[in-house]
Amino acid sequence: MGRRVTINGKDGSFGAYVADGKSKTGPAIVVIQEIFGVNQVMRDITDSLAEEGYTAVCPDLFWRIQPGIEITDKTEAEWEKAFSYFKTFNVDTGVEDIASTIAWVRGEGHSKVGAVGYCLGGLLAFLTATRTDADAAVGYYGVGIDNYLGEAEKAKKPVLLHVAEEDGFVSKDSQARMESGLTAPNFQLYSYPGRDHAFAREGGQHYHKGDAGTANKRTLDFFAKHLK
């Protein structure tokens, strides 16, 4: 369904997976990867957003480490690789690549551009809201957001965050700091009791169909309100 494009960034060119929506000038969404690269899960999410009418673009944010990284969450060896990529990854340059992706999308004629990210991408979605001109941002179970709460005031557009209450990578203290530090009217947080990290990753160990469906509907309603 999708196609591959090359985006010229601040430090070089990188690839992206694009699923075209109904309109060449309609709203678009940048899909921000997990620690497994632009794999089938990310492409499926990108395709599903296109089915909702959005042009969706998933950039390869690990290109500086190795272009085209694509693994799953099914084996211990792959998890080890994913965490090694996570430790090597530079958050600041990753956000710069997202900004370049947003600029590319706007250059293609899309005036409204949102962003949605998962896991590592959940943190990057938050930083996309604070550091870029994205029109709206959604983060799923972002890891480390509480370390960047000092930037929250820079987010002028709407932000929606999905928080897994039993997230093995985000402590209850971190969650409490997020709740107390993200009180501006443009921030909206939903907590999911009993859910662990990546509860919306279909096929994943902690996938929960009911709450994933609830979170995804909230995301689509949020984008319909702020992008369309």
Active site residue ranges = 167, 197
Measured CA to CA, the distance from residue 170 to residue 115 in angstroms comes to: 21
Measured over all CA atoms, what is the biggest interatomic distance in the chain, rounded to whole angstroms? 44
Taking alpha carbons only, the member of 198, 221, 227, 228 closest to residue 41 is 198
E-strand stretches of 20-73: 28-32, 55-59
Q: Which two tokens stand for residue 116?
A: 């949605």
Measured CA to CA, the distance from residue 76 to residue 195 in angstroms comes to: 22
Measured CA to CA, the distance from residue 118 to residue 137 in angstroms comes to: 11
Q: In what order do the strands lie in the sheet with 159-164?
A: 3-8, 13-19, 55-59, 28-32, 113-118, 136-140, 159-164, 187-192
Q: Which residue has the tokens 């991408």?
A: 121
Q: Which two tokens stand for residue 98?
A: 């997202």
Measured CA to CA, the distance from residue 30 to residue 19 in angstroms comes to: 11
